[in-house]
Amino acid sequence: MLVRPAHAICAVLLLTTPAHAQPSTSRGQISVAQVRAMLDQAATNPTALQTLTAYLAGTGETAGWLLDAARGLPPCARRLTLDAQQARDAIASAAATAATETPATPLIIRDMLKRAGCRLTE
């Protein structure tokens, strides 16, 4: 069985944080609620900080790799960047009522590409 890095990160988050851990989406994706919980707990919980760091690093690295793999597209105007505040800003628009069913990663990657001035369509 192939374990996706995102699922491994979710498992670590769910197994190592307090009982009020947020669920992933019904499709197994990392939810906005999970990322918000990691962001909120990172300042006081070393495990949440480690999980958040791994998640953000994986998200940023994957976005960069995908851009590299999509040859022929115009380059981005600026470097891709991602930090905790940028992630928080990217998911801020997700409604609190849908936070457990809204996948966080597409919102964060879309924001990264927008901030870097990447043009993905002709």
Among 60, 13, 61, 62, CA closest to 40: 13
In a domain, 64, yes or no: yes
Residue 101's alpha-carbon distances to 19, 25, 54, 118, in angstroms, are 19, 5, 21, 27
Instruction: Give the pLDDT confidence of 108-118 residue by residue, as tens digits.
Output: 999 999 999 98
Q: What is the residue-averaged pLDDT of the chain?
A: 81
Domain tally, the chain: 1
Percentage above 70 pLDDT, the chain: 77
Report if residue 25 sits inside a domain.
Answer: yes
41 Cβ contact partners less than 8 Å away, ≥ 6 residues apart: 17, 48, 49
Q: Give the residue-averaged pLDDT of 54-78.
A: 85
**Confidence tier at 1 by pLDDT (50, 70, 90):** very low
Q: Is residue 120 part of a domain?
A: no
For residue 121, is it within any domain? no
Domain annotation covers residue 52: yes
Percent of the chain scored above 90 by pLDDT? 48
Mean pLDDT calculated for residue range 97-103:
84
Per-residue pLDDT band at 5 (split at 50, 70, 90) = low
pLDDT at 66 over 90: no
Within a domain: residue 37? yes
Question: Residue 75 belongs to what domain range?
Answer: 5-115
